[in-house]
Amino acid sequence: MASYLYPPGPGDYRADRLTPEPPLAELQITQPGGAGFTVPGNQVKWQNWRFRVGFTPKEGPVLYTLSFQDGIHDRPLVYRASLSELVVPYGDTAGDHYMNHSFDLGETMFGSQVNSLRLGCDCLGEIHYFSFDMADDLGEVKEMPNIVCLHEEDYGVLWKHTDTSTGNAEVRRSRRLVISSFFTIGNYDYGIFWYLYLDGSIEFEAKLTGTLYLRAIEDDELTPYGARVAPGVNGMVHEHYFNVRLDMSVDGTRTLWWKSSHSGFQRVPRIPTETHTGPKKP
């Protein structure tokens, strides 16, 4: 096994060990009338949205029974929404690293690596936190406080028009509801965000932060499958693939799928039920 000199440069990222940056101007986010959502139990009601929040030790936050109020009709949209897998393949061919290929949900139980969130650090504004209980490796109940954050964000201009004949301008602001959690898997930290908008749209975002997965190298060693990030330190090339599970229920359970192309729309045939019950008997 090869031996390497310890990297000469400092690598401590804690704020009290670094030269302080000039402080940002103070920014306060307040809602004097309180939050625009209500949370009876694990159900969330916000504007025209209705849904429930759950959590599993594999997937992390799970949104259930999302519906949108359209006039007098409460229209179902999504029965279940969650992350289903996060694959992280590495491309370094070094003898002790070539096998690195992580399935962060299936192998590391992504949800169980969740962070407890702190006001003013992970979320801003009028916050509601969800806490859940999970079983640990010995089957004992483990309390997980404040692991899902719920808050509102201003989202800029939703609609605007200026009447040039009168100079009158009308503006409508947009807003979104944010459901978020943070997870630490080894060197990486992942933020999982679900956004609900006033127009009925849904968005998923994954934020990648933390530190790079590194390996030691010689000063004259070539790094074709990475980047030299400091003397004696190689940041290995890698990718992140986020897979999301969406069980759709648009206006009910008999949802039909269509695929679009340059030649138009084509209906995707429904999979016969018997294909899910195993091989047919002769």
* Interior/surface letters 3-27, b for 16+ CB within 10 angstroms, e for the rest: eeeeeeeeeeeeeeeeeeeeeeeee
* pLDDT tens digits for range 184-220: 999 999 999 999 999 999 999 999 999 888 888 888 8
Q: At 21, list the tokens.
A: 């940056």
- Where exactly are the structural domains of the chain? 35-151+177-211+239-276
* pLDDT tens digits for range 73-130: 999 999 999 999 999 998 888 877 888 888 989 898 999 999 999 766 788 889 999 9
Alpha carbon distance 44, 179 (integer Å): 10
Q: Provide the pLDDT for residue 277.
A: 53
The single-letter code of the amino acid at 230 is A
| Residue 210: strand, helix, or coil | strand
Beta-strand (E) ranges in 164-238? 168-185, 188-197, 202-210, 214-216, 226-230, 233-236
Question: Are the C-beta atoms of 79 and 248 separated by less than 8 Å?
Answer: yes
The single-letter code of the amino acid at 203 is E
| pLDDT higher than 70, residue 272 | no
| pLDDT higher than 80, residue 233 | yes
Q: pLDDT: is 193 or 228 the higher one?
A: 193
Q: Provide the pLDDT for residue 120.
A: 66
Active site residue ranges: 104, 188
Lowest mean pLDDT among 14-18, 251-255, 271-275: 271-275
* pLDDT tens digits for range 33-86: 999 999 998 999 999 999 999 999 999 999 999 999 998 999 999 999 999 999
Which DSSP symbol is given to 19?
Answer: P
Please name which of 213, 206, 204 lies closest in space to residue 241, comparing C-alpha atoms. Answer: 206
Residue 217 — φ and ψ, nearest 5°?
A: -140, 160
Residue 16 — φ and ψ, nearest 5°?
A: -75, -5
Distances (CA, A) of 189 to 21, 85, 119, 174, 212: 22, 15, 18, 29, 10
| pLDDT higher than 60, residue 282 | no
Per the prediction, the chain carries an average pLDDT of 87
Alpha carbon distance 66, 88 (integer Å): 30
pLDDT band for position 273 (cuts 50, 70, 90): low
pLDDT band for position 281 (cuts 50, 70, 90): low
Q: Please spell the DSSP secondary structure of 76-133, one letter per residue.
A: EEEEEEEEEEEEEEB----TTTTT-EEETTTTT-GGGGBPPP-BTTTB-SS-EEEEEE
Task: Count CB-CB contacts under 10 A for residue 110.
Answer: 23
Question: Are the C-beta atoms of 101 and 88 separated by less than 8 Å?
Answer: yes
Q: CA end-to-end span of the chain, whole Å? A: 57
Q: Provide the pLDDT for residue 122.
A: 81
Q: At 257, list the tokens.
A: 């799928």
Residue 116 neighbours by CB under 8 Å, 6+ apart: 144, 145, 146, 147
CATH code at 35-151+177-211+239-276 = 2.70.98.20
pLDDT band for position 225 (cuts 50, 70, 90): confident
Q: Provide the pLDDT for residue 274.
A: 55
pLDDT band for position 23 (cuts 50, 70, 90): confident
